[in-house]
Amino acid sequence: MKKRDIIIVALVLVAAAALWLVPQIVSRGDASVVVVTIDGKEALRAPLERDEVYTFEQEDGSLNVLTVSGGYARMTQANCRDGLCMNMGRTNTTAKTIVCLPHKLVVQLENESAQEEPEELDMVIQ
Ligand SMILES: [Zn+2]
């Protein structure tokens, strides 16, 4: 095999890998619902396409305001001590989860059609 042939084979392999990978990434990030859990309990399940502001107030005074707009979810207000959840920015993919640790509040995006699959194992916290 000539060196040029090896390069062509390598390119074909890379292209094949890319073709296989791209749909995986796209389908993975294809979120349609926003799910909020507080202390492990589901507090909200709403379509991501609906622009809405959700307020979560807990008995101890913990407050989180989640804004869904233009297909993105973002923590716009929180009275937690670190404010990290607000700094996490917005998300529109199932791969990015917004977490407010002091309030035990997790904002996850899910693909409604893939909802049956157990999500816990491949949960990614960024
Ligand atoms: Zn927070």
Note whether 47 and 68 are same-domain residues. Answer: yes
Residue 107 Cα, ligand 1 centroid: separation in angstroms? Answer: 11
The Cα 85–Cα 51 span in angstroms is 20
Q: Is 54:65 a contact under the CB 8 Å cutoff?
A: yes
Q: How far is CA 17 from the centre of its chain?
A: 24
Tell me the whole-structure pTM to 2 decimals.
0.68
Residue 100 Cα, ligand 1 centroid: separation in angstroms? Answer: 4
Residue 87 Cα, ligand 1 centroid: separation in angstroms? Answer: 9
Residue 115 pLDDT: 45
The Cα 63–Cα 77 span in angstroms is 8
Q: What are phi and psi of 22, to 5 degrees?
A: -55, -50
Note whether 26 and 51 are same-domain residues. Answer: no
* 122 within some domain: no
Higher pLDDT pick, 44 / 124 = 44
How does pLDDT run across 68-80, given as a tens digit for each residue?
A: 999 999 999 999 9
Residue 51 pLDDT: 98
Residue 74 Cα, ligand 1 centroid: separation in angstroms? Answer: 11
Residue 109 pLDDT: 97
How does pLDDT run across 17-58, given as a tens digit for each residue?
A: 777 776 555 555 589 999 999 999 999 999 999 999 999 999
Question: Which residues have CB atoms below 5 A from the ion given as ligand 1?
Answer: 78, 80, 85, 100
Note whether 71 and 52 are same-domain residues. Answer: yes
* Mean of the per-residue pLDDT values of the chain: 87
Note whether 75 and 89 are same-domain residues. Answer: yes
* Residue 19, domain extent: 1-30
Least confident of 19-33, 82-96, 103-117: 19-33
Residues above pLDDT 70, as percent of the chain: 81
Closest CA relative to residue 32, chosen from 112, 96, 90, 95: 112
Residues above pLDDT 90, as percent of the chain: 64
